[in-house]
Amino acid sequence: MIVGLQIIYSSNGFDMTLFNLDSQPCSSLRRLLARWLVCGAVAVQSSWAAAQTDSFFKQHCIECHDASTKQGGLDLTSLKFELSPAESFGKWVKIHDRIESGEMPPKGQARPTAADRDAVVKHLKTEFIQAERQKLAGEPRTGIRRMTRAEYENTMRDLFEMPGLVLQNDLPPDGSAHGFDKNSDALDISHVNLAKYIEAADRVLNVAIAIQPEAPTVKTQRISLANPAGFVAHVLMNGDGVLLKNKQVDSEFPASGEQGHIDQGAHERMGSFHNGASVGLFRHEDESFHPYFNEFVAIYPAKYRLRTSLWSFTWDKGVVLPGRGTEAVRLSIVTLTGDGRGGGHPSSFLTHLDAPSMTEQQHEITTWFNQNDTIGLNTASLAPAANYFKKKRAMEFTGPGIVCDYLDVEGPLFESWPPPSHKRLFGDLPLVEFIAKDHPNVRPPKHEAHRQKMFMGKNVADPIKGLWTVQSEQPLVDADKLLAKFLPKAFRRPVEDAERQQYVDQVSERLKAGDCFETAMRWSYRLALCSPAFLYHSPAPAKSDTPATESRSLSDYALASRLSYFFWNSMPDDRLMELAAGDKLHQPDVLKSEVDRLLSSPKSQRFVEDFLGQWLKLRAIAANDADKKLYPEFSPYLQDSMVAETRAYFRELLDKNLSASHLIQSNFAMLNEKLATHYGIEGVTGSQMRRVDLPPDNPRGPFLTQAAILKITANGTTTSPVPRGAFVMDRLLGLPPDLPPSNVAAVEPDVRGATTIREQLAKHRDNRACAACHAKIDPPGFALEAFDVIGGQRGRYRSIGEGDAAPRGKIDPFIGISFKLGPTVDVSGSLPDGRPFKDVLEFQKLVAADSNRLLTNMAQRLTIYSIGRGLTFSDRDAIQRVVSNTQKQGGGIKTLIHEVVQSDLFQTR
Amino acid sequence: MPRTTFKLIRLLLVGLMVVISPGLVSADDKPAEPKLIKHQITGLFCPEREQDFKVLCEQKLAKFKLVSIDYANAEATFDYDPAKEFPGAKPEQVIERFDNEVRNVSRHTFGVKPLRTIPKEKLKLIELPIVGLDCKACSLAVYEIIFRLKGVEQATASFKSSKATALVDPEKIDQTEIEMALKQRGVTLKSAQ
């Protein structure tokens, strides 16, 4: 049980002084220390230090933490100084931290001198580090681990230059440890994973390999939003939209009035929806309405260019008038499932587009579509309004509308043929027609011909005559050449001849078994893509003859991978591999310039999204929906904007190298019109995020007060200072609170408006077991009570029971409100050290001043994320060096990232 | 007369149909030489449809030369040779094939039928004021509901007048049955409001 200590002290000998102390019955610590000795392990490094420690505990700790008093559940008289078991080690580290921070002994008790405290802290620290070093001696700190789902998908995308390939949805979810899914502790592998990897590899190869001699014909298809295959035609029939020509009602299709239009089929046959009219919509997407442009359904996985023209207007019972401003449209990529009928197919966000009042705005986007993908449109900025069942329908409606004149889809777009994905596998070998009689005893390749699989898709595949495949005159010679290029790229390291030969042998075997060259190669490629060399990160040591002291250093290739999976969540590119091949990557200046290069690439957005998704829990943004009665103004567009704000803000911190205090306090915010309106900030128009300067009395801007964070830390109905406070403590300050005791009931929200959460918590804190922790957790939560569950600033709680009538404020006039205003919000509080704050601004000022704490937390998070393991006690000094070096250079976040990368933590296994 | 017997007679008449016109006499079922042949046209439910049909014939049915349209009776006269245009077709199949061609190119908004056999004076005109006839396509919808009923020989529907008409054989159908059919398809009659 105490092997670690035995080892430590086997070289230093036992401390007899301490042993003798056991005879003094009043000293529980002495009893404790004596017990260690009896067990063969002693918890001190020197008699002098141990004596000091003993004296310190006797004077300041035992009184409250003995067997009878047991304050906070801690009985120091029975706690063994065993540092091998993680639980025990953790407890001692916590004791160390409380003493070091000055939290213990508590206020009102006799204070130790700084020298005494420092001596004890130093002594314990030495013990911990020695114990940890012994435990970890000779072992790599970062365990071998497989790629996460996102890493796997991105790696495949980059390896084959197919940037929109979707694979991760079909892979089992990753686990998470130390806050991130990149941790080796959480990334196990099972037969299910393997089966899915095989399927995924097959899918990738199907898409990557060209099966026709020429590129598919590039076609441009113009689609009306009213295409009958979508949903819009139906709602146009019933007054949730209108057809317009020259910004007036289409005379051939008047707006639906007293009755809906009769018989959609008759209208389709009469060409009502294909007469070139623009489509104006009053309704946004909901459970039964999904506007799709599904007359186009992608057949060839490839890039496509989308062009659309959008504008907005006000509809006044049959009359088109100028709109209220710039409206926003959300485009999404919809993957049709089954036979493609109906709505609610899985979709992913593509972009937001502006629709200015009465002026057409042309938009062009190039994006990747996979097979069966189509385009979805949502009139994002409109309130949920439907005339469908209302009397007189559109002719009685006055309100905003968004117009889509058309959508052009151009593609598939291939810059070369065969595409790069094919060349990655087969180089420049020719594509020829496979004529069976010319290849007796050879099985032809199995290709699934491209075809339109969805009946509503009007685009069709090119007719291809014959079966086309790669031809090799010297199959094994070509196989060797091709694999010699492919394997190092896929495995992110050099591949020895013997290793490559195993894959060539596979090709040889398949050829002997009667497969054609393409099939035989494909077999070998699939093997490679399912091999540990591809699926696992291999933190190989630098060189086999490296001195023992440096044996944990990463090789240049491993460093290249660590960098690219940090900033791109994907494999290293050619530049990184070249630097690794030249042994240059460890050079500090090279490393620095590479970090800058990687961060300036668009691929670094993957890091921004993946890191924030986990650090700030952005992945959980949709974990709950806001209560519709209490927060009727909440919409998917607002939620999208929340996420965009947090990402844009982090990007701004990186690009401008801003200090960590910006986590808490800022003089600017990243906003679009939707969020600016939500925050009560004037003068922001359009759907795109941009930097907006703020006056000093505005708390908005930093992560702390961003709507995304405020939503994630609420439950959709009410806020509580506890989860919000815990979030701030853990995620922003790096001081995770202890888990709540299992026997204490949680505080339940009161949406009737009778009691405030502060009143409920006050009762909760009467419980002494709760008070100590809540003294730390609650203050940030109290400050954030200034914001509701969707991040709106408030002075009173909303209620669906008691309360006063609520003013509409900035809520869209087309949204009905029924909530009331309940009790006044009290946002005052005081930090655990007693410093008071009266509002969130004062709280921000107090917390932002502790830049070292904020920077330390950031350093820890970035390190854990990038090296794939949790940090231990012995890493603290390294983290502090990173922080200290960063502070000396101004304390910027980008500087911090550079310092993390330059640190031993990053460059060792 | 039982309806089955009537059907048989009508079928025979289709084959033997002779169109009488001043100076021009022809029949559907004698595909010997190019002749002027008259058919009943479905889908001529409002005056504007006359122009639509002309455009359709010009653009997509050029081989059947349109000579004239009689909107009042929903009839059109063509100049074509059935033997040439529908080789191998039996006389009773000629109209069916012509109808298929017209339907295909008009997205099933026009069609061809044999001429009416019942004298117009024996038919009764029923007028139906409709609520919510918003556009030409709505008119087509209402027209089709009415025209597909047995006993309806001719029909119109106009969103401009918010009215539909049915020329019916009073022995086979009455106004109530038409109104019922319309209501079942969600069409509101002004009288019902």
* Per-residue pLDDT tens over the stretch A264-274: 999 999 999 98
Between CA A882 and CA A619 the distance in angstroms is 28
Nearest CB among B132, B135, B142 relative to A272 is that of B135
Residues in A closer than 8 angstroms to B131, CB to CB, are 258-259
Instruction: Please tell me the distance in Å from B144's CA to the nearest CA on chain A.
Output: 9
Residues in B closer than 8 angstroms to A256, CB to CB, are 134
Extract the tokens encoding A575.
């530049």
- Look-up of token digits 């941009």: A690
Cβ(A820)–Cβ(A805) below 8 Å? yes
Between CA A720 and CA A700 the distance in angstroms is 20
Whether B103 and B136 map to the same domain: the answer is: no
Give the pLDDT of residue A764. 66
Residues in B closer than 8 angstroms to A260, CB to CB, are 132, 186
Nearest CB among B108, B109, B132 relative to A262 is that of B132
Band of residue A328 on the pLDDT scale cut at 50, 70, 90: very high
- Look-up of token digits 């990149």: A182
Between CA B12 and CA A457 the distance in angstroms is 44
Q: Is the dihedral of CA A219, A224, A228, A231 positive or negative?
A: positive
Burial class from Cβ neighbours inside 10 Å (0-12, 13-18, 19+) for residue A659 reads: buried
Nearest CB among A252, A257, A260 relative to B136 is that of A252
Query: Which one of B113, B146, B171 terminates a domain?
Result: B113
- Average pLDDT on A745-772 reads 68
* Nearest in space to A350 (alpha carbons), one of A375, A325, A371, A370: A375
A788 three-class SS? coil
Residues in A closer than 8 angstroms to B185, CB to CB, are 262-263
Which tens digits make up the pLDDT trace of A152-205?
Answer: 999 999 999 999 999 999 999 999 999 999 988 888 889 999 999 999 999 999
Instruction: Please tell me the distance in Å from B85's CA to the nearest CA on chain A.
Output: 26
Query: At residue B25, does pLDDT exceed 50?
Result: no
Instruction: Please tell me the distance in Å from B33's CA to the nearest CA on chain A.
Output: 35
- Average pLDDT on A863-877 reads 93
* Nearest in space to A852 (alpha carbons), one of A825, A872, A880, A873: A880
Phi-psi region of A54 (alpha: psi -120 to 50; beta: other; left: phi over 0): alpha
Instruction: Please tell me the distance in Å from B131's CA to the nearest CA on chain A.
Output: 7
Instruction: Please tell me the distance in Å from A353's CA to the nearest CA on chain B.
Output: 33
Whole-number percent of chain B with pLDDT over 90: 72
> How many domains is chain B partitioned into structurally?
2
Which tens digits make up the pLDDT trace of A57-96?
Answer: 777 787 788 877 777 777 777 777 878 888 888 888 888 8
Q: Which of A250, A262, A388 to mutate to test the interface with B (most CBs of B within 10 A)?
A: A262
Cβ–Cβ of A270/B186 closer than 8 Å? no
Instruction: Please tell me the distance in Å from A268's CA to the nearest CA on chain B.
Output: 8
* Chain B: residue whose CA lies nearest to A391: B132
Stretch 152-191 of chain B: residues touching chain A, C-beta under 8 Å: 185-188
Give the pLDDT of residue A182. 93
Residues in B closer than 8 angstroms to A253, CB to CB, are 134-135, 137
A758 three-class SS? helix
Extract the tokens encoding A206.
């199907």
B193 in A contact zone (CB under 8 Å): no
Residue A252's Cβ-side half-sphere holds a number of Cα atoms within 13 Å equal to: 15
* Element counts in chain A: helices (H) and strands (E): 30, 22
Residues in A closer than 8 angstroms to B186, CB to CB, are 260, 262
* Burial annotation A131-152 (CB, 10 A radius, 16+ → b, else e): bbebbeeeebbbeebbbbbbbb
DSSP for residue A532: H
Which tens digits make up the pLDDT trace of A335-350?
Answer: 999 999 999 999 999 9
Q: Which of B44, B52, B103, B134 to mutate to test the interface with A (most CBs of A within 10 A)?
A: B134
Which tens digits make up the pLDDT trace of A699-715?
Answer: 999 999 999 999 999 99
Instruction: Please tell me the distance in Å from B192's CA to the nearest CA on chain A.
Output: 13
Whether B10 and B105 map to the same domain: the answer is: yes
Whether B178 and B158 map to the same domain: the answer is: yes
Which three-class secondary structure string do you get for A246-259?
CCEECCCCCCCCCC
Give the pLDDT of residue A787. 97
Is the ipTM beyond the 0.85 threshold? Answer: no
* Burial annotation A867-904 (CB, 10 A radius, 16+ → b, else e): bbbbbbbbbbebbebbbebbbeeebbbbbbbbbbbbbe
Cβ–Cβ of A270/B142 closer than 8 Å? no
Which tens digits make up the pLDDT trace of A670-683?
Answer: 999 999 999 999 99
Band of residue A721 on the pLDDT scale cut at 50, 70, 90: very high
Instruction: Please tell me the distance in Å from B186's CA to the nearest CA on chain A.
Output: 8
Q: What is the CA radius of gyration of chain B?
A: 17
Report the CATH number at residue B39.
3.30.70.100
Query: At residue A602, does pLDDT exceed 80?
Result: yes
Between CA A619 and CA A149 the distance in angstroms is 14
Which tens digits make up the pLDDT trace of A502-557?
Answer: 999 999 999 999 999 999 999 999 999 999 999 999 765 545 555 544 567 899 99
Cβ–Cβ of A259/B108 closer than 8 Å? no
Cβ–Cβ of B137/A272 closer than 8 Å? yes
* Nearest in space to A591 (alpha carbons), one of A151, A859, A900: A900
Better-predicted residue by pLDDT, A106 or A682: A682
Amino acid at A446: K
Cβ–Cβ of A269/B137 closer than 8 Å? yes
Mean of the per-residue pLDDT values for chain A? 89
Between CA A19 and CA A378 the distance in angstroms is 76
Q: Within A137-187, where are the H helices?
A: 149-160
Cβ–Cβ of A271/B107 closer than 8 Å? yes
- A683: CB partners within 8 A, 6+ apart: A676, A692
* Chain A: residue whose CA lies nearest to B132: A259
Which tens digits make up the pLDDT trace of A448-506?
Answer: 999 999 999 999 999 999 999 999 999 999 999 999 999 999 999 999 999 999 999 99
* Chain A: residue whose CA lies nearest to B183: A262
C-alpha distances (whole Å) from A694 to each of A666, A668, A726, A794 are: 8, 5, 27, 19
Whether B132 and B96 map to the same domain: the answer is: no
Burial class from Cβ neighbours inside 10 Å (0-12, 13-18, 19+) for residue A425 reads: buried
Give the pLDDT of residue A47. 60
Cross-strand bridge partners of residue A146? A536
Give the pLDDT of residue A750. 64
Nearest CB among B109, B132, B135 relative to A252 is that of B135
Between CA A491 and CA A196 the distance in angstroms is 19
Cβ–Cβ of B107/A254 closer than 8 Å? no
Residue ranges with strand state E in A241-346: 241-245, 248-249, 278-281, 302-316, 319-321, 327-335
Cβ–Cβ of B134/A261 closer than 8 Å? yes
* Chain A: residue whose CA lies nearest to B188: A259
Between CA A228 and CA A511 the distance in angstroms is 51
Residues in B closer than 8 angstroms to A389, CB to CB, are none
- Is the whole-model pTM more than 0.90? no
Give the pLDDT of residue A138. 67
Query: At residue A442, does pLDDT exceed 80?
Result: yes
The count of other CB atoms within 10 Å of the CB of residue A519 is 20
The count of other CB atoms within 10 Å of the CB of residue A196 is 18
Q: Within A801-892, where are the H helices?
A: 840-848, 851-867, 876-888
Cβ–Cβ of B135/A256 closer than 8 Å? no
Between CA A780 and CA A103 the distance in angstroms is 18
Extract the tokens encoding A305.
């260019």
* Chain B: residue whose CA lies nearest to A268: B137
Query: At residue A41, does pLDDT exceed 70?
Result: no
Query: At residue A619, does pLDDT exceed 50?
Result: yes
Extract the tokens encoding A157.
């995308």
Cβ(B170)–Cβ(B119) below 8 Å? no
Give the pLDDT of residue A765. 67
Between CA A222 and CA A293 the distance in angstroms is 10
Instruction: Please tell me the distance in Å from A338's CA to the nearest CA on chain B.
Output: 28
* Nearest in space to A537 (alpha carbons), one of A219, A148, A877: A148
Cβ(B131)–Cβ(B162) below 8 Å? yes
Give the pLDDT of residue B16. 40
Q: Within A656-734, where are the H helices?
A: 673-679, 707-712, 721-727
Whether B108 and B144 map to the same domain: the answer is: no
| Helices A114-136 + A86-101 axis angle, to 10 | 150
Q: Which of B103, B107, B135 to mutate to test the interface with A (most CBs of A within 10 A)?
A: B135
Nearest CB among B131, B141, B186 relative to A266 is that of B141
Residues in B closer than 8 angstroms to A272, CB to CB, are 135, 137
Q: Which of B138, B148, B159 to mutate to test the interface with A (most CBs of A within 10 A)?
A: B138
Cβ–Cβ of B137/A258 closer than 8 Å? no
Maximum separation of any 2 CA atoms in chain A, in Å: 104
Query: Which one of B80, B113, B146 terminates a domain?
Result: B113
* Nearest in space to A318 (alpha carbons), one of A240, A379, A398, A252: A398
Cross-strand bridge partners of residue A669? A692
Cβ(A273)–Cβ(A267) below 8 Å? yes
* Nearest in space to A406 (alpha carbons), one of A323, A331, A314, A307: A307
Burial class from Cβ neighbours inside 10 Å (0-12, 13-18, 19+) for residue B60 reads: middle
Instruction: Please tell me the distance in Å from B61's CA to the nearest CA on chain A.
Output: 18
Give the pLDDT of residue A861. 97
Domain of residue B66: give its range: 3-113
Minimum mean pLDDT range among A41-55, A314-328, A818-832: A41-55
Cβ–Cβ of B134/A271 closer than 8 Å? no
Whether B53 and B139 map to the same domain: the answer is: no
Cβ(A166)–Cβ(A370) below 8 Å? yes
Whether B107 and B12 map to the same domain: the answer is: yes
Stretch 69-128 of chain B: residues touching chain A, C-beta under 8 Å: 107-109
A572 three-class SS? coil
Whether B132 and B102 map to the same domain: the answer is: no
Size of interface A-B (CB pairs under 8 A): 65
- A851: CB partners within 8 A, 6+ apart: A659, A660, A661, A887, A891
- Average pLDDT on A808-823 reads 92
Query: Which one of B94, B113, B132 terminates a domain?
Result: B113
Instruction: Please tell me the distance in Å from A254's CA to the nearest CA on chain B.
Output: 6
- B166: CB partners within 8 A, 6+ apart: B125, B126, B128, B146, B147, B149, B152, B154, B155, B178
Cβ–Cβ of B109/A253 closer than 8 Å? no
Element (H, E) at A140: none
Instruction: Please tell me the distance in Å from A340's CA to the nearest CA on chain B.
Output: 24
Better-predicted residue by pLDDT, A28 or A54: A54
Cβ(A840)–Cβ(A796) below 8 Å? no
Minimum mean pLDDT range among A423-432, A537-546, A585-594, B41-50: A537-546
Query: At residue A35, does pLDDT exceed 60?
Result: no
Whether B10 and B100 map to the same domain: the answer is: yes
Minimum mean pLDDT range among A48-57, A440-449, A869-878: A48-57
First to last CA, chain A: 27
Query: At residue B31, does pLDDT exceed 60?
Result: no
Which tens digits make up the pLDDT trace of A128-158?
Answer: 888 888 887 767 677 788 999 999 999 999 9
Better-predicted residue by pLDDT, B90 or A38: B90
Query: At residue A897, does pLDDT exceed 50?
Result: yes
Whether B108 and B143 map to the same domain: the answer is: no
Whether B35 and B83 map to the same domain: the answer is: yes
Residues in A closer than 8 angstroms to B189, CB to CB, are none
Cβ–Cβ of B137/A270 closer than 8 Å? yes
Band of residue A258 on the pLDDT scale cut at 50, 70, 90: confident
Between CA A273 and CA A246 the distance in angstroms is 16
Residues in A closer than 8 angstroms to B141, CB to CB, are 262-263, 265-267
Q: Within A802-873, where are the H helices?
A: 840-848, 851-867
DSSP A430-447: PEEE--GGGSTT-BPP--
Whether B15 and B62 map to the same domain: the answer is: yes
Which tens digits make up the pLDDT trace of A342-399?
Answer: 999 999 999 999 999 999 999 999 999 999 999 999 999 999 878 887 888 999 999 9
Nearest CB among B108, B135, B144 relative to A261 is that of B135
Q: Is the dihedral of CA A237, A634, A646, A615 positive or negative?
A: negative
